[in-house]
Structure 1
Amino acid sequence: MIGLLDCNNFYASCERAFNPKLEGQPIGILSNNDGCVIARSNELKPYVPMGMPAFKIPPHIKKKITLLSSNYELYGDMSQRVFSIVQEYIYDTELYSIDEAFLHLQNKQNATEYCIALRKIIHQCTGIPVSIGLSLTKTLAKIANHVAKKNTDYQGVYFLNPDHPAFASILQQFPVTEIWGIGRRLSVKLSNMGIQTAWQLRNCDAHFLGKQFSVVMERTILELRGIPCIDLEGTHTLKKNIMTSRSFGNATNDFHDLEDIVRIHASRGAEKLRSQHSLAQAVLVFLKTNRFHKIKSQYHPSIAIPLLYPTSDTREIIQAAQNGLRRIYKKNYLYQKAGIMMLDIVGQDKNQLNIFSNTNTDEAKKRSEILMQTLDNINKKMGRNKIAFGATKSTASWNLKRNHLSQRYTTRWDELPVVKAV
């Protein structure tokens, strides 16, 4: 038995947990720099489509809705709280995203009742509503979760049983575009073949479509038939590239500002490398001007800087990244975005010595690993960037615009919620 636990309207629910006045109100969460709507409560969906730029929302609609800046500190902490509760009751848990997790319920009797009780505990402890879909495979559990959300009769939990008479009806009404792993382009190709529902895809020749598309398609078809093909930990693979980037609150041509943000991105990229026990062999640095400003000159440079040897040492990656920045920077342009990409990623066990370098000896590698591990442990315990390389101006022009930011209720001492006695 596989379960898919999904936090309902997660970002909006986090805001409502600490501001009950938002209950029942249409809420939209904005992207970085308060640009586009990236999350919506159910009440907002009839008014604003996903991804709509905030400045395009008509004034008469803006008066009826609440728009909030992305409060990632709050959302990340609430996610950790929800799934720490889940892991207390279900040991085999695979975190899939900030608001989703797959659950292994093989040893649980009466799984539906168990999950209904778990759902109540999560809501009582965090204020976050969740829905849980149950079935024999991950793909079917995803579909079951959709049913659990749509139909209130199921108390937020639904078991999609392939042997139940309703199974065929549910898959016949489920569009192929909504199936886990079927993207927009692939769904168009399937539609051209006359495959528009999950039931139609389930009844296709799995081997034939696997050859036409990929082994993932073959596995998806088998999963729709109730045959598990995707292991519980099957989605955790070594990333081939790691990117960290950000659009700026205000465009800038200040080299020192760009140097700061490139250093921060490089540090974050190195941290991600270490978290998956891997090393990068090259670093790509890129800058972008604002492509929406048609009048101004455009410049979108990038450069890949090879590293002397595969590494995840923050110091070496920062040095390479800033070297790349110096080579592509031109002062006559206003830049709106900068980013870093780690290239040619290999496993930590693939680190090779370099006969032309005295810095990649076994002793130097050991010192580097100890230093980076200490850095990561302190930042994990005390908060990100408690120890960082270099100083950053709090007034830097690239800082995010978050003009509608709510309090970071659970991660900042000075923003803790206050309960007033009546």
Structure 2
Amino acid sequence: MYALVDGNNFYVSCERVFRPSLRGRPVIVLSNNDGCAIARSNEAKALGIAMAEPWPYIRKRLGDAGVVALSANFTLYGDMSNRLMSIAAGLGPRQEIYSIDECFVDVAGIRGDLTARARKLRERLLQWIGVPCGIGIAPTKTLAKLANHVAKDADRKPGVNYPHALARVCDLGALPSSDLDAVLAATEVRDLWGIGPRLSAQLTDEGVRTALDLARMDAAVARRRWSVMVERTVRELQGQSCIAFEDAPAARKEVSCTRAFGEPVTTLAPLEEAVSEYASRAAFKLREQGSHAAQVLVFIHTNPFRTWEKQYSRAATLPLRRPTSDSSAIVRSALRGLAQIWKPGFRIHKAGVILMDLRDASVEQGELALDEGDERDTPRRARLGAALDRINDRYGRGTLQLASAGLGGDARDWTMKQQWRTPQYTTDWGALPMAGS
């Protein structure tokens, strides 16, 4: 039995904790460079604002609707996520963090009323950190995802698709079979976990329009006509658990840092600064998960939406001499790749660094360096990287960095636009909110 705990409109909810005046108002959180909507309050959704809709279009279409746009504050959201996950872990003995605002909790074998236990957890989250959430409980992960969708939909639109009794906390495992069938019949197949738009269209063309239609399909037929993934979804809807529980997140197969620039870059020097910073951030992520990279990919491109401008897009992949997580070695390689693909005369809109062919760092550490210029992590360089990470963690990202990243800080033209970012209330002493006297 699984429970899925999911923060409601998480980014917006985090902002409202520290700005109660935003409650009841249409609020959206924008992506990097304040480009498009990546989180919407229920009030914003009611205005028809779509996920990933560009902010200029929203402002033009709903200029007088009182929409509040905020720049993304990922430092705040990450810290609030850690708090949410630590509290949610009390629901059961094992937890799998699925995303920044979602986690599965294994509740098998827990005695008593699971719905009542989940409601108490929800109240605790609301009281302790101020973030509302939906909780779905079911025998499989796919059904738990569906139960969470039901809990949120029934709370937002009571009685429209699902009964209000299932709002906020929905335990599909406790429903009689007839009531479960009614929930499945009220759910469009496109709303199921793992069913994307293209697959949803294919299933609909074959007459499979609801979750109940899919649940009644023969699993072997689903595999033969579509894929093993669809077969797995069918079995999960039928109550057979097919998706394993992961106590620890799997290591990423690639690590990347990519950004669009606040202003187009037309010369090499600022581009070198940006690529140096992105490569350093990617190296930090690499060390966080205990991996080494064997290849570095660097890319640049112009803005494809500005069709009246000359377009340019190039990428280069360079092998590292030895797999490493050393920032200096990775930055050197990224800058060599940039030198290969740079071409003057274009307005570069975006750049990025992707670290590939990842290896377990513990396996690599036992090998000795071949010579002074060897790029593998020696114990001295590993200690240097760890010290760098500790200092930046304590005093703020960018406190120490490689010289090639420049010294301009957030004043550099290529840094992201974040015109409406709120303070980092929970991680910066200088940004602590003040209570009125």
Same fold (TM over 0.5): yes
**Cα displacement string for residues 209-248 of structure 1 (whole angstroms, at most 9, x for unaligned residues):** 2344433322221111111111111894343322210001
User: Gaps spanning 5+ residues in structure 1: where?
Assistant: none
Contact 1:309 1:353 in 2 (8 A): no
User: Gaps spanning 5+ residues in structure 2: where?
Assistant: 156-164
Question: Structure 1 residue 165: deviation in Å?
Answer: 2.2
**Which shifted more, 24-33 or 225-234?**
225-234
| TM-score, structure 1 as length reference | 0.92
**Aligned counterpart, 1:7:** 7
- Structure 2 distance, partners of 1:229, 1:164, is 21
Distance of aligned partners of 1:323 and 1:60 in 2 relative to their CA distance in 1, 3 Å threshold: closer
Distance of aligned partners of 1:10 and 1:355 in 2 relative to their CA distance in 1, 3 Å threshold: closer
Question: Structure 1 residue 359: deviation in Å?
Answer: 4.9
Distance of aligned partners of 1:163 and 1:234 in 2 relative to their CA distance in 1, 3 Å threshold: farther
- Structure 2 distance, partners of 1:350, 1:213, is 39
**Cα displacement string for residues 115-168 of structure 1 (whole angstroms, at most 9, x for unaligned residues):** 100110110011110110001111000110111112243451110027532111
**Aligned counterpart, 1:53:** 54
1:269 corresponds to 2:270: no
**Aligned counterpart, 2:127:** 124
1:335 corresponds to 2:348: yes
Question: Structure 1 residue 7: deviation in Å?
Answer: 0.4
Task: List aligned pairs for 1:283-294, cutoff 5 A.
Answer: 283-294=296-307
| TM-score, structure 2 as length reference | 0.89
Contact 1:116 1:155 in 2 (8 A): no
SS in 1 for 2:177: coil
- Structure 2 distance, partners of 1:214, 1:384, is 44
SS in 2 for 1:417: coil
Which of these residues, 400, 410, 418, is aligned with residue 387 of structure 1?
Answer: 400
Question: Amino acid of the residue matched to residue 422 of structure 2?
Answer: S
Q: How many residues align?
A: 420
**Aligned counterpart, 1:396:** 412
Question: Amino acid of the residue matched to residue 131 of structure 1?
Answer: G
Identity of aligned pairs, percent? 38
SS in 2 for 1:44: helix
Question: Amino acid of the residue matched to residue 36 of structure 1?
Answer: C
SS in 2 for 1:229: coil
- Structure 1 distance, partners of 2:134, 2:218, is 32
Which of these residues, 134, 137, 155, is aligned with residue 134 of structure 1?
Answer: 137
- Structure 2 distance, partners of 1:217, 1:405, is 41
Distance of aligned partners of 1:360 and 1:91 in 2 relative to their CA distance in 1, 3 Å threshold: farther
Distance of aligned partners of 1:374 and 1:229 in 2 relative to their CA distance in 1, 3 Å threshold: farther
- Structure 2 distance, partners of 1:305, 1:211, is 41
Query: Alpha carbon RMSD of aligned pairs, Å?
Result: 2.4
Distance of aligned partners of 1:320 and 1:98 in 2 relative to their CA distance in 1, 3 Å threshold: same
Question: Structure 1 residue 335: deviation in Å?
Answer: 0.8
**Cα displacement string for residues 345-389 of structure 1 (whole angstroms, at most 9, x for unaligned residues):** 233355496996555599x53333333334334444554334332
- Structure 2 distance, partners of 1:307, 1:327, is 16
**Cα displacement string for residues 249-292 of structure 1 (whole angstroms, at most 9, x for unaligned residues):** 10112322111111111112222223333222211110011122
Contact 1:131 1:149 in 2 (8 A): yes
Contact 2:136 2:169 in 1 (8 A): yes
Contact 2:324 2:375 in 1 (8 A): no
Contact 2:368 2:378 in 1 (8 A): no
- Structure 2 distance, partners of 1:112, 1:145, is 13
SS in 2 for 1:24: coil
- Structure 1 distance, partners of 2:95, 2:233, is 21
Which of these residues, 84, 87, 106, is aligned with residue 85 of structure 1?
Answer: 87
**Aligned counterpart, 2:160:** none
**Cα displacement string for residues 71-106 of structure 1 (whole angstroms, at most 9, x for unaligned residues):** 212211111121122234544111111111111112
Distance of aligned partners of 1:81 and 1:354 in 2 relative to their CA distance in 1, 3 Å threshold: closer
- Structure 2 distance, partners of 1:312, 1:229, is 35
Question: Amino acid of the residue matched to residue 122 of structure 1?
Answer: L
**Aligned counterpart, 1:347:** 360
**Aligned counterpart, 1:96:** 98
Contact 1:288 1:337 in 2 (8 A): yes
**Aligned counterpart, 2:161:** none
